[in-house]
């Protein structure tokens, strides 16, 4: 069911001098426009004011881990409306009744433009709500719910175009912690991690929802989103399931290469990262690998595997590769710099994730690059600006931006990746979506 609440007024940003418009970047999907965790807008604050980033607006939302997407003056976010108990238990599939919702808001003032909702009983652990950021592609937005409800909606009014259900259509079993593979659009295809026999990866016609191909079987589909890379003279779709990381032909689904990689509890979550001929993927515990991709044809070989004292084994934080180095958060909150070619750990700090300065189970801070700095949204509800170099972690400033309303392992956490767009930060927890200005003051 879709409810349209109001029309949409396009926003225009005037230049201070001259005539024209001031372009502002969008954040239309997981990890940004290019899925690379880089924020490319200019005119961004160098240091937070004493009172923190100014709040432009706040609006109530229900529970969920799904980060917002921002495109063409609108914000899209999914949540789960229920009165049931959301107390997280990593070992229990909680049974809840509720409705998953897709909300479309005005980026200018947070006004609700439309919502689409449907009944969705939950049987997962950490049942706060959906996990996947919406994927906006032109006049359509694609959403994936925690129990495998894939929806294609019109961006102007939220009306349904087509839908799929992974459990019904593919006999998939919902993973313990829900469906987490953010849908990926490339060309006319929509790629999803689905599950079921022979259908861990499925390509759909993005306009009709028709299946184009299905591929791969595994004991579990795991949680890693589909990732597109270029190597060996060819585009390759990377799918990391519970047993191996694989390269597929995105046109046909045929297997190009496969390397065993079995994260504990099937917790391959972080998005694989490519840098030149290297591809890194990692999960717990020390289940990571740096691969060298074939130069002349699709292929992959192991350069090194993670081990105690080598590399990094992230829980949910996608690492960042730059130059000869890898930056990321390991399983107990250690923000690390690693020499890419060897896995040598150069430094470690808990400053970004743990107020105690000690190892903390699954502590996280996301990494978003902006110029020569990183913005680090921390599970503590703080936003940190820091420089990460091979020599050290150099914190510039931090500010409290949102309350950590989730609960995990006896502490309050904020585990939703925000969107950086329109020179603002769009962040959600289980109670509200907030827009904060990160624009530098005009001189």
Kindly report, residue by residue over 79-109, the tens digit of the pLDDT.
999 876 666 565 678 789 999 999 999 999 9
**How deeply is 433 buried, as exposed, middle or buried, from its count of CB atoms within 10 A (0-12, 13-18, 19+)?**
buried
Please identify which residue in the block is written with the tokens 């509200």. Answer: 432
Note if the pTM is more than 0.75.
Answer: yes
DSSP H helix total and E strand total for the chain? 1, 37
Which pLDDT value is given to residue 92?
79
CA contacts within 13 A on the Cβ side of 62: 20
For residue 365 the two structure tokens come to 């801070």
Which pLDDT value is given to residue 17?
31
Which pLDDT value is given to residue 340?
97
Distance CA 25, CA 106 (A): 15
Which pLDDT value is given to residue 88?
54
- Contact between residue 389 and residue 373 where contact means Cβ atoms under 8 Å apart: no
Which pLDDT value is given to residue 83?
72
Could you say which residues of the chain have pLDDT below 50?
A: 6-22
Which pLDDT value is given to residue 12?
36
């Amino acid at each position: 069911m879709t409810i349209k609440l109001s029309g949409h007024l396009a926003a225009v940003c005037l230049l201070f001098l001259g005539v024209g418009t001031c372009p502002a970047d969008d954040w239309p999907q997981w990890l940004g426009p290019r899925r690379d965790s880089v924020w490319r807008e200019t005119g961004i604050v160098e240091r937070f004011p004493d009172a923190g980033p100014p709040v432009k607006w706040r609006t109530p939302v229900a529970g969920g881990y799904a980060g917002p997407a921002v495109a063409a003056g609108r914000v899209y976010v999914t949540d789960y409306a229920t009165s049931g108990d959301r107390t997280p238990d990593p070992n229990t599939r909680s049974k809840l009744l509720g409705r998953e919702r897709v909300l479309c808001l005005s980026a200018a003032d947070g006004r609700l433009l439309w919502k689409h909702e449907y009944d969705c009983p939950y049987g997962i652990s950490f049942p706060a709500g959906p996990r996947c950021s919406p994927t906006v592609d032109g006049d359509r937005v694609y959403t994936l719910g925690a129990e495998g409800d894939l929806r294609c909606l019109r961006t102007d009014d939220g009306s349904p175009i087509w839908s799929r259900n992974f459990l019904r259509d593919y006999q998939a079993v919902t993973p313990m912690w829900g469906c987490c593979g953010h849908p990926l659009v490339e060309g006319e295809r929509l790629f999803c991690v689905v599950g079921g026999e022979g259908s861990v990866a499925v390509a759909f016609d993005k306009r009709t929802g028709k299946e184009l191909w299905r591929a791969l079987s595994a004991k579990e589909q795991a949680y890693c989103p589909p990732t597109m890379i270029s190597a060996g003279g060819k585009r390759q779709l990377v799918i990391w399931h519970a047993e191996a990381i694989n390269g597929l032909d995105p046109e046909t689904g045929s297997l190009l290469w496969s390397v065993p990689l079995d994260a504990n509890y099937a917790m391959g979550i972080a998005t694989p990262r490519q840098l030149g001929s290297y591809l890194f993927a990692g999960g717990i515990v020390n289940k990571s690998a740096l691969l060298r991709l074939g130069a002349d044809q699709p292929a992959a070989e192991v350069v090194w595997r993670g081990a105690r004292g080598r590399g990094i084994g992230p829980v949910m934080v996608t690492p960042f590769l730059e130059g000869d180095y890898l930056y990321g958060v390991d399983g107990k909150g250690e923000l690390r710099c690693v020499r890419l070619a060897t896995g040598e750990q150069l430094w470690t700090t808990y400053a970004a994730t743990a107020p105690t300065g000690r190892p903390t189970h699954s502590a996280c801070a996301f990494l978003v690059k902006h110029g020569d700095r990183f913005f680090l949204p921390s599970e503590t509800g703080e936003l940190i600006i820091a420089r990460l170099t091979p020599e050290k972690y150099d914190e510039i400033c931090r500010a409290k931006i949102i309350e950590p309303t989730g609960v995990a392992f006896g502490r309050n956490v904020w585990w939703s990746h925000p969107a950086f767009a329109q020179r603002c930060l769009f962040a959600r927890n289980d109670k509200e979506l907030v827009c904060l200005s990160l624009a530098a003051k005009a001189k």
